[in-house]
Chain A
Amino acid sequence: MLVLAVAALAASGPALASEQHPTLDELEAMLVCPSCHVPLDESNSPIAQQMKAYIAKRIAQGATRSEIVDELVGPPNNLGVAVLGVPRTHGFDLIAWVLPFAGIGIAAVAVGAGAWRWSRNRKEDEPPGLRRLDPALDRRVDEELARFDG
């Protein structure tokens, strides 16, 4: 438990530092040019250059990573979620959001149905005699066993 806690603390340190003191490189790798749809660090489009300049300026002003990203997506720049490189939440791109959950749901149903069917088949496969002994026969088996034990 202690080892896990120490590991979690060790991992959270750099993440916290990155959030509080982001670098231009990491934000350029994280964000996408909204007109050419390639990572910012691979684009020299006018909007990519504007975004890079904005990020550098805000880093110099001490803005956090979340603040910078929020300001690009929403007010004052309103460039939208396209700068995050995430699929849209409508149209064909919606599949990217829905498919993982649908896949998990379908897999769960398939596993459940398979398990139910397998357990049912097992019961049907059992010989009829093994299901339940006739009470008279059952009593006789008990008597025979008692005789052997005795």
Chain B
Amino acid sequence: MRVIRAATAVVVVALLGLLVWDVAHRSGGHVASDVNKGEIVKAPAFSLPRVQGSGHISLASLRGKAVVLNFWASDCVPCKQEQKELNAAARKWDGKNVVFLGVDEIEVRSFAQHYLEHYKVPYQSVADGDGSLAGKFGVTGTPETFFIDKYGRVVPPHIIGVLKSDPGGLEAGIRRALTA
């Protein structure tokens, strides 16, 4: 009887431990919160399928370049509002060791493709179909923009919402990613 009681207690404690670990784990990555505090943190590695065309794009393949990582979705109104500004910035920084990369969040692919065509987006996007990359970055909604330096580290600022919410943030982020 004592053995059964002890075994039951062990099982209950183990389940509670697993639950606590899972809740902590599910709360998402700490990239966003750390960068918001002004810290420079290692970007989570990823390799995701392109929204347009075939094949994958990995973060490792972009090493040595400054990356502007923009999380978006086709049904997101603020994303549409900032798309023109992102397009212009991508053209401005083209060929200057800066890569713009969109991350499409939890969408049926054809809708994302239609969005990219409609807004004539001049850079590539990858599909984060199950939202796992957004989870690793600690993204809470779209749009959100991160800046990754040539060493694969996320540098401040982290722009939450449209680019206009952080005037000069896009330019500052690119410059910091280039010089970090």
Contacts and interface: CB of A to CB of B under 8 A. Distances in A.
A46 B75 contact: yes
A91 B25 contact: yes
Contacts of B132: 80
Interface stretch (B93-101, B102-110, B149-157, B159-167): B102-110
A93 B131 CA distance: 18
Interface in B121-168: 127, 129-132
B25 A47 contact: no
A92 B108 contact: no
Nearest to B108: A50
A46 B72 CA distance: 13
B111 A91 contact: no
**A interface, over-half SS:** helix
Contact of B49 (A46, A78, A80): A78
Given A47-B107, A50-B107, A80 B22 contact: no
B130 A82 contact: yes
Given A50-B111, A92-B18, A92-B19, A79 B106 contact: yes
A51 interface: yes
Contacts of A72: 108
Contacts of B92: none
A91 B25 CA distance: 8
A80 B127 CA distance: 12
A119 interface: no
Given A91-B26, A92-B22, A53 B108 contact: yes
A35 B106 contact: yes
B7 to A, nearest CB: 10
Nearest to A33: B106
A121 to B, nearest CB: 16
Interface string B62-88: 000000000001010000000000000
**B interface, over-half SS:** helix
A54 interface: yes
Given A76-B109, A77-B109, A78-B49, A34 B19 contact: no
A80 B18 CA distance: 23
Interface string A112-136: 0000000000000000000000000
Contacts of B131: 34-35
Nearest to A49: B75
Contacts of B172: none
A86 interface: no
Interface of B: 15, 18-19, 21-23, 25-26, 49, 73, 75, 106-111, 127, 129-132
Interface of A: 34-35, 46-47, 50-51, 53-54, 72, 75-80, 82, 91-93, 95
Given A34-B131, A78-B49, 9 more contacts: A47-B75, A50-B111, A51-B108, A53-B108, A72-B108, A76-B109, A79-B129, A80-B130, A93-B22
14 contacts: A34-B106, A35-B106, A47-B75, A47-B106, A50-B75, A50-B108, A50-B111, A54-B108, A78-B127, A78-B129, A78-B130, A80-B130, A92-B22, A93-B22
